[in-house]
Amino acid sequence: MAPRRPADPPQTTPATPLSRLAGLHGVATSYSPSPDRTVAASDTALVAALAALGVDASTPDAVSAALAAREAEARERLLPPTVVCWGGRAPAELAELPDGTRLRIATEQGETRASAEQLPPGVHALRATAPDGRTADAHLVVAPARLPTPPGRAYGLLVQLYSLLSRRSWGMGDLGDLAELTAWAGRALGAGFVQVNPLHAAVPGAPTDPSPYRPSSRRFPDPVHLRVEDIPEFGYVDEPDQVRTLLERAERLRESVLDKGALIDRDAVWELKREALELVSTVPLGPGRRAAYVDFLAEEGEALEDHATWCALAEMYGSDWRRWPEGLRDPRSPETARARAELMDRVDFHTRLAWLTDAQLATAQRSARDAGMAVGLVHDLAVGVHPDGADAWAQQEYFAAGMSVGAPPDAFNARGQDWGLPPWRPDRLAASGYAPYRRLLRALFRHAGAVRIDHVMGLFRLWWIPQGRPPTEGTYVRYDAEAMLAVLVLEASRAGALVIGEDLGTVEPGVRETLRARGVLGTSVLWFERDWDGDGLPLPPERWRADCLATATTHDLPPTASRLTGDHVELRDRLGLLTGSLEEERAAAASDTGEWLTLLTRLGLLWGASGGCPTVSEEAEIQAVHRFLLLTPARLIGVWLPDTVGDRRPQNLPGTWDQYPNWRLPIADAEGRPVTLEELAASPRLHALLHVVRAGAQTGGARRARGGGGGHAAR
């Protein structure tokens, strides 16, 4: 993750036939790793990206033919496949239709209209018939002009759920713990939200990829998060000896993490819970529960059946569907239909797990709202899915074959990044009216007061890398950001939810302005907020943007205690990750931190230094950092839960795999001792920090008079 900076000025008009063809399909011919430098995309990258979009550009003749076909299509086409109508106002594309063109609009609500004025929100079917007989069918997305501004200011907690263990967890945090956290944080602490990591279903393996950002499915949650004892049928399992043994094993797993220093073992937790859930599945559902389950099956339809079928087939053939018997690689093949029928018991098992997990997510959000939280749960939407997983199998027609998503080389990462996630094809999304995207958002918003969109810039463009090639040989491919945003705003407004865009790192000009105009909040992290267009010093609080979630850190960055003490530099040195010498990196980190502490002192926020003792504790510095956040006009203030007890270990260290236990650490105190949810609730250090935050949030960020400057100013 890197500081924000301007990026990618508008490209010049492509000159070669290949460049023209690429431009017509949204494939970029160059990018700017820094404001003063432009790098041309290679012809190889352009040809590969076009091939993934179904366009043959392998020879000059193929390019000429594809270019002629595309230009002819553009001349003949009346409408694009998806058209956007903001706030009930007719889209510009309709005004460009030939005079006398007739419209027929079939709305989601079952009405038929002849005009696009004042249509109800939804995705409607539009047919245009021109006077010369040409017709065009399009999807018409009608969305509110923008999402409402959050009322007032709220603060909340940010946590990786697996890391939050209670004395009831089975070796990792679960949805029961989440419900407890939301109830306590809302009632006792006055928090307005709890943001969690993506809870998407993972790809099973040996070992399972622990990253929540490389899921099997973004549509369905992972049953590893279930609190087994909270399932109503668990109390009726007629196997007391087996249940006792399971609970004893769960206790040992929990104690190994909390009391013996073991890492969180997701695979061991899942194996134990799977055995318990197999027993639960033998208990018949009561009439009311059966009716609720049937409703869930009907609502989720084919998508759930596909997901459960993939899970059942993965049990037999492994999780990489590309290595399955050929007929099973196609979710719509006769072979898959036969296998689904033969494995119906296993398919039902996995659909029931999806239902149970969905129900516990609903309980956690209901707990948050009952506790008075204005927002409640903030769910996280990963930028993509694992190429081996259920979504990649079930939605093959929507993914760009042979491509992977990542980031280009820049001043902060000379090699670029490859995230190993297949990108969606923008042409197929548009042709479907963004159907898979709409269904995904609807499922995510169902039990959320807000959704965080990881790498929200992906609504505009993504860096496509041909598989097997380094990230340096990729290129940007553009999406219809207006349509992607309209669907997002439509589904969020239907759910009455907020949207937070993770817009850290390289962001092309205009993106933040476009997102803000539609009511999408940004993400501002203290250490990156500097005056990059001026002296480069820390940005004063009154110059921060208001429409954002402001935090001191994230799951990909050092905890605040680690940054303040310089521990993060020592950790990277031990792992061989420093790009300069240890002395240089120490000095740079100390200078960066020192500039922030100087500003905090000048603003009178650093309490604790007195008389002949100018130094303050690291705990006092963390409080000062959060006082600073409260001076900004940010509408949401997020507190990284490990910061409340002085945890110094990052949950994820980008650039590492086996060298560091990413995604496997429980929340711990300053000495590295795991801290349970019950201990968090009793922690004086936590209460001292959250007293500061709660008081500041309730007074709109106004600082107590304690000497030193500056209040907060809206932008």
Region 248-272 average pLDDT: 97
- pLDDT at residue 457, rounded to an integer: 96
CA atoms of 217 and 392, how far apart (whole Å): 8
Distance from CA of residue 452 to its chain's centroid? 5
Region 343-358 average pLDDT: 98
pLDDT band at 610 (very low <50, low <70, confident <90, very high): very low
Strands 636-640 and 154-159 turn out to be parallel
Residue 559 sits at the vertex; the CA angle it makes with 555 and 560, to the nearest 5 degrees, is 135
- pLDDT at residue 411, rounded to an integer: 64
CA dihedral 275, 281, 286, 289 (to 10 degrees): 90
pLDDT band at 505 (very low <50, low <70, confident <90, very high): confident
- pLDDT at residue 15, rounded to an integer: 78
Residue 52 sits at the vertex; the CA angle it makes with 49 and 58, to the nearest 5 degrees, is 70
pLDDT in tens, 61-108: 999 999 999 999 989 999 999 999 999 888 989 999 999 999 999 999
Q: Is the pLDDT of residue 533 over 90?
A: no
User: In this predicted structure, which of 273-282, 331-340, 647-656 has the lowest mean pLDDT?
Assistant: 647-656
pLDDT in tens, 112-124: 999 988 899 999 9
Region 176-186 average pLDDT: 98
Q: Which residues pair with 550 in a beta bridge?
A: 524, 637
- pLDDT at residue 335, rounded to an integer: 98
Reported as half-sphere exposure (CB side, CA atoms, 13 A), residue 511 has a value of 29
Residues of the chain with pLDDT > 90, as a percent, come to: 86
Q: Is the pLDDT of residue 274 over 60?
A: yes
Strand order from edge to edge, sheet including 548-551: 498-501, 450-453, 376-381, 193-196, 154-159, 636-640, 548-551, 522-525
536 close to 530: Cβ distance less than 8 angstroms: yes
CA atoms of 250 and 165, how far apart (whole Å): 12
User: Given the structure tokens 């086996």, which residue do they identify?
Assistant: 658
Q: Is the pLDDT of residue 713 over 80?
A: no
3-state secondary structure of 480: coil
pLDDT band at 710 (very low <50, low <70, confident <90, very high): very low
pLDDT band at 506 (very low <50, low <70, confident <90, very high): confident
593 close to 535: Cβ distance less than 8 angstroms: no
555 close to 651: Cβ distance less than 8 angstroms: yes
Q: Is the pLDDT of residue 561 over 80?
A: yes
31 close to 46: Cβ distance less than 8 angstroms: no
- Give this prediction's pTM: 0.94
pLDDT in tens, 422-471: 999 999 999 999 999 999 999 999 999 999 999 999 999 999 999 999 99
Exposure string over 168-192, b if 16+ CB within 10 A, otherwise e: bbbbbbbbbbbbbbbbbbbeebbbb
- pLDDT at residue 658, rounded to an integer: 87
pLDDT in tens, 679-706: 999 999 999 999 999 998 877 644 433 3
The chain-wide mean pLDDT, for the chain, equals 93
Tokens coding 466: 């041909």
3-state secondary structure of 546: coil
pLDDT in tens, 187-205: 999 999 999 999 999 999 8
pLDDT in tens, 10-67: 444 447 999 999 999 999 999 988 778 899 999 999 999 999 999 999 999 999 999 9
